[in-house]
């Protein structure tokens, strides 16, 4: 996308803002009806724990794990992830955390594994002399402390205000307002998309959304700085269209996008989810700065140009300029 494309989309900025609003409202409704999808290791979980001696853990764990996995497959239990809890010199444990496990199936699996352990630890058995215990539990963790969400929201607002004040001092009040709103909009937009797409919501998502907000600020400042350095003859829409730092934004977006794709492709699923959230945060920062900010800047620029025109129309010329023109 080049600045030519900006000239085609600049007048539709209001519609692009409305899209953000609609997505936000949808995400709120969605989360009220279906709840937020918290990550695999939070929320309600059923677990099956096998406790064993350290020597068995170090030397025969694989045999036990194979037997457990066979039993889980028979019962149709899906292991979400496994904790390998080690404690030197004493009892270790392996905790299997299941996805959507019924109590009935879990108790059946427990009974079968207990029976297998009894057989194998009896005289002549392959695990003779070892003592193992099997227990089942349910766990319910606070997904993300509610105070985190409240604090994160307050921080996002304060951050935007502080940056807005700096930009207002450097570039003018209304541009400061735009610099204040742009990162907020980007953060809200990315959080809404993450909720709507049911991507597992973890504390890492806060990081991704926060960095997306920072990138949105960077993009806005790059645009404002480019506009300031523009040709004196450029005014109004032309100034804004040519001032949008498209190339810089897209290069940053491309560089980060490629890096995040690499991270997502190479790493395992939870890291992929994080990379996806980060990509969403990056894309929303680009969206806001390519489609919404230029429209807002156009309005501000048009008002500024009108004001400048009314000053020259009055015929007033400053003393210095009068002297210069006489010379």
Note whether 252 binds another protein by CB under 8 A: yes
Q: Which of 116, 152, 188, 199 binds another protein (CB under 8 A)?
A: 152
Task: Give the range of 7-15, 61-69, 85-93, 122-130 binding another protein by CB under 8 A.
Answer: 85-93
Task: Give the range of 147-155, 188-196, 296-304, 317-325 binding another protein by CB under 8 A.
Answer: 147-155
Among residue numbers 156 through 195, which ones bind another protein (CB under 8 A)? 158-159, 162-163, 166-167, 170, 179, 183
Note whether 59 binds another protein by CB under 8 A: no
Rounded to a whole number of angstroms, the minimum distance from the CB of residue 84 to another protein is 6
Q: What are phi and psi of 268, to 5 degrees?
A: -90, 180
**Would you say 19 or 40 has its CB closer to another protein?**
40
Among residue numbers 231 through 250, which ones bind another protein (CB under 8 A)? 247-248
**Would you say 17 or 54 has its CB closer to another protein?**
54
**Would you say 158 or 173 has its CB closer to another protein?**
158
Fill in the DSSP letter of residue 125.
Answer: S
Among residue numbers 23 through 42, which ones bind another protein (CB under 8 A)? 41-42
Q: Which residues pair with 48 in a beta bridge?
A: 96, 136
Note whether 116 binds another protein by CB under 8 A: no
**Would you say 15 or 148 has its CB closer to another protein?**
148
Helix 246-266 × helix 203-228 angle, to 10°: 160
Task: Give the range of 22-30, 120-128, 152-160, 300-308 binding another protein by CB under 8 A.
Answer: 152-160
Contact yes or no for 181/160 (Cβ under 8 A): yes
Contact yes or no for 280/194 (Cβ under 8 A): yes
CA 301 – CA 175 distance, rounded (Å): 9
> β-strand 133-141 against 43-53: which pairing, if any?
antiparallel
Q: Which of 139, 309, 323, 324 binds another protein (CB under 8 A)?
A: 139
CA 79 – CA 179 distance, rounded (Å): 47
Note whether 111 binds another protein by CB under 8 A: no
Burial class (CB in 10 A: 0-12, 13-18, 19+), 266: exposed
Rounded to a whole number of angstroms, the minimum distance from the CB of residue 180 to another protein is 11
Note whether 271 binds another protein by CB under 8 A: yes
Our CA angle for 240, 292, 196, nearest 5°, is 160
Among residue numbers 287 through 326, which ones bind another protein (CB under 8 A)? none
Q: How many CB atoms lie within 10 A of CB 49?
A: 17
CA 145 – CA 172 distance, rounded (Å): 39
Rounded to a whole number of angstroms, the minimum distance from the CB of residue 183 to another protein is 8
Q: Which residues pair with 49 in a beta bridge?
A: 95, 135
Among residue numbers 198 through 217, which ones bind another protein (CB under 8 A)? 202-204, 206-208, 210-211, 213-215, 217
Q: Which of 32, 89, 233, 268 binds another protein (CB under 8 A)?
A: 268
Rounded to a whole number of angstroms, the minimum distance from the CB of residue 9 to another protein is 22
Rounded to a whole number of angstroms, the minimum distance from the CB of residue 140 to another protein is 5
CA distances from 103 to 47, 97, 108, 136 (A): 10, 13, 9, 9
Q: Which residues pair with 53 in a beta bridge?
A: 91
């Amino acid at each position: 996308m080049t600045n030519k494309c900006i000239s085609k989309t600049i007048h539709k900025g209001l519609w692009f803002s409305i899209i953000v609003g609609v997505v936000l409202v949808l995400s709120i409704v969605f989360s009220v009806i279906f709840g937020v999808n918290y990550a695999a290791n939070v929320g309600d979980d059923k677990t099956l724990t096998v406790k064993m001696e350290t020597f068995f853990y170090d030397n025969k764990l694989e045999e036990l794990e194979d037997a457990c996995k066979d039993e889980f497959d028979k019962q149709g239990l899906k292991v979400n992830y496994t904790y390998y809890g080690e404690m030197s010199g004493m009892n270790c444990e392996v905790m299997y955390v299941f996805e959507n496990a019924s109590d009935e199936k879990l108790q059946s699996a427990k009974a079968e594994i207990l029976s297998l352990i009894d057989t194998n630890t009896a005289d002549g058995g392959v695990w003779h002399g070892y003592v193992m215990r099997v227990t089942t539990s349910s766990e319910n963790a606070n997904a993300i402390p509610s105070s985190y969400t409240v604090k994160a929201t307050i921080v996002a607002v304060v951050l935007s205000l502080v940056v807005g004040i700096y930009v207002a001092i450097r570039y003018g009040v209304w541009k400061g307002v735009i610099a204040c709103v742009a990162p907020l909009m980007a953060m809200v937009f990315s959080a809404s998309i993450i909720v709507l797409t049911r991507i597992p919501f973890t504390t890492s998502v806060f990081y991704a959304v926060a960095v997306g907000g920072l990138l949105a600020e960077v993009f806005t400042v790059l645009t404002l700085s480019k506009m300031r350095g523009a040709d004196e003859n450029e005014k109004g829409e032309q100034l804004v269209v040519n001032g949008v730092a498209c190339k810089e934004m897209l290069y940053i977006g491309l560089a980060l996008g490629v890096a995040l794709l690499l991270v997502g492709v190479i790493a395992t699923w939870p890291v992929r989810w994080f990379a996806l959230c980060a990509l969403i945060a990056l894309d929303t920062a680009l969206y806001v700065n390519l489609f919404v900010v230029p429209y807002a800047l156009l309005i501000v620029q048009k008002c500024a140009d009108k004001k400048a025109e009314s000053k020259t129309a009055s015929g007033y010329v400053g003393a210095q300029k009068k002297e210069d023109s006489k010379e």
